[in-house]
Structure 1
């Protein structure tokens, strides 16, 4: 893979390739932007370009150093990921221990910290001095979708590299050309920000199932009856989809937005375009303000879910609120 095969992120690519071209590499980078925007893929490719024997603005993909990176066994590279829900101080200490030795080949050592915002306070403080004064030449890449949670002292010691959500239209065309089902693609590109993440989502059987459940619940909840509560109980919590309630709320957010698009005559923006007839029947049964409040309710219920509120309780409160 080359940088050009990474969809979007032109600003990030320009920053990194300029550094490679001019041989001006920062000791530490902070990749930040929305979840699923391809930060890890970019970081891995940048790491490969840094060790590449060609020393150009991209990895050659053929030299021994590139092949070691591709096979995941390069001795001068380390990926640090959360251990459970956080990155602990022992992980940072182990990183420091490994990187206290110089590379046998005289290369820079490279490490990536995935979900850097999940470092404990102790881990972050331990990383601080190491970031600026590693015992051996090193390049750090810290990846996060929540940059405000990174210590200001760490932010000040890193070069920021901004990532943005990839244009959904670009991803729809790309994935449609790969023969993924278009109705699923149109939803997936609004839930994740990177084509590779989309492919992973589209490969999951549960994704098509929860989309169908949302379609059914969306129609039932407009009838002001209690059927939607029964459907949710049977299809989600008894149907083995209870681990994906957050994605149900994400899809509902898109559903309500589509209802607003219909009310204002902006059909070209509709995500569930294959459901246009059903959406048209539901859209005018409530006011635009009601659909806006439903979007807010979906966001609030997702927030409750992240605070460990019972998923079934969140869903029941949500459906009752939607039905009015």
Structure 2
């Protein structure tokens, strides 16, 4: 992975590459931003450039140091991630022990801490001492979705690099150029967290199937009848799509949002643009407050699924609520 392969995050890339170009590298960085914004990819690209023997603003990808990074066996590069629900003091002590020996190549040692906000207090305090007095030249890269959850004294000793949410329009353009069907692309870029996840979903036959079923359910549930319950049972649960109900709720959330966009005249923001005629008809059957409550219901049902509530029960309650 190189900087050029990362979509968006131009400000973050510029800051890091300027540091590489001018040989002004901080001893610690704090990458913060929403899930799917590419923090880990950027951290890997930065680490690779740091160890590259050419010492430029981009890794060459060909030298021995770059090849070791690509193969995951570089001795001066380590990744720490939560052990269970937290990062424990023993994990920080392990990295301190490893870093007590100088690099044979003369490079800085580099470590990435994923979900840095999940460090225990003891781990955070141990890391703080390590940041202040590293036994050997080192670069720390801390990753988090919530910078404010990281110990203030750690934040004050790191260079902040802020990541923004991925741009759906940029991702849609790339995926469209790759030949994926645009009706599916317009949906998936609002559901998946990054390009790789988008491609994974688009490669699955079931994603197109659940989109079609959701469209049918959306139209039927506006009719106040029980047909949507029958369709859900036959096409989702008996049709082998029961494992993907969470994505059905994601798609419904976009569907209701489109309806609201129609009601306020924002047609340029519609995701299901190929369904404009059907959306326009459904939009007239209820007022805006109803559709807003439907969006909330979709989010609540998705939350219930994650709490291991029966998927079929969730869907039935949802469709009843949508029908009003």
**Same fold by TM-score greater than 0.5:** yes
Alpha-carbon shift at residue 78 of structure 1 (Å): 1.2
- Cα shift at 1:310: 4.8
* Equivalences for residues 192-203 of structure 1 within 5 A: 192-203=192-203
Q: Which residue of 2 aligns with 1:315?
A: 315
TM-superposed CA distance for 1:317, in Å, is 3.2
Equivalence for 2:127: 127
CA distance in 2, matches of 1:32, 1:312: 37
SS at match of 1:268: helix
Instruction: Quote the Cα distance in structure 2 between the aligned partners of 1:245 and 1:132.
Output: 48
Rounded to whole Å, the distance in 1 between the matches of 2:316 and 2:125 is: 42
> What is aligned with 1:181?
181
Find the counterpart in structure 1 of residue 43 from structure 2. Answer: 43
Residue 209 of structure 2: aligned partner: 209
1:136-285 paired onto structure 2 within 5 Å: 136-237=136-237, 239-285=239-285
SS at match of 2:191: coil
Q: How many residues align?
A: 324
Judged with a 3 Å threshold, the aligned counterparts in structure 2 of structure 1 residues 209 and 120 are, in CA distance, closer, same or farther, namely farther
Q: Secondary structure at the match of 1:186?
A: helix
Structure 1 residues 139-148 or 124-133, which shifts more? 124-133
Q: In 2, distance between residues paired with 1:54 and 1:113? A: 26
Give me the whole-angstrom Cα distance separating, in 1, the residues matched to 2:149 and 2:206: 32
Larger deviation, residues 90-99 vs 109-118: 90-99
Give TM-score scaled by structure 2 length.
Answer: 0.89
CA distance in 2, matches of 1:317, 1:151: 42
Shift of 1:75: 1.0
Instruction: Structure 1: state its 5+ residue gaps.
Output: none
Secondary structure of 1:293's match? Answer: helix
Q: Which moved more, 1:206-215 or 1:61-70?
A: 206-215
Q: Comparing 150-159 with 101-110, which one deviates more in the overlay?
A: 150-159
SS at match of 2:290: helix
Q: Distance in 2 between matches of 1:206 and 1:86?
A: 35
Shift of 1:305: 4.2
Q: Distance in 2 between matches of 1:311 and 1:118?
A: 30
In structure 2, the residue corresponding to 1:143 is in which secondary structure? strand
Q: 1:132 to 1:298 in 2, by over 3 A?
A: farther
**Cα gap change, 1:297/1:91 in structure 2, threshold over 3 Å: closer, same or farther?**
same
Show the counterpart of 2:22.
22
Residue deviations 1:294-319 (CA, integer Å, cap 9, x gap): 11222333344445555444433332
Q: CA deviation at 1:205?
A: 3.8
> SS of the counterpart of 1:190?
helix
The range that moved more, 114-123 or 267-276, is 114-123
Query: Is contact 1:171–1:195 with CA below 8 Å preserved after alignment?
Result: yes
Cα contact 1:35–1:192 (8 A) shared by 2: no
Contact 2:112 2:141 in 1 (8 A): yes
Query: Contact 1:100/1:135 (CA < 8 Å) preserved in 2?
Result: yes
Contact 1:36 1:197 in 2 (8 A): no
SS in 2 for 1:302: helix
- Contact in 1 for aligned 2:36/2:166 (Cα 8 Å): no
Compute the RMSD of aligned alpha carbons: 2.4
User: Which digits, 9 at most, give the CA deviation of each residue in 1:144-193, with x for residues without a partner?
Assistant: 22334333333233221111123222211111111112111111111234
Cα separation, 2, equivalents of 1:243 and 1:29:
39
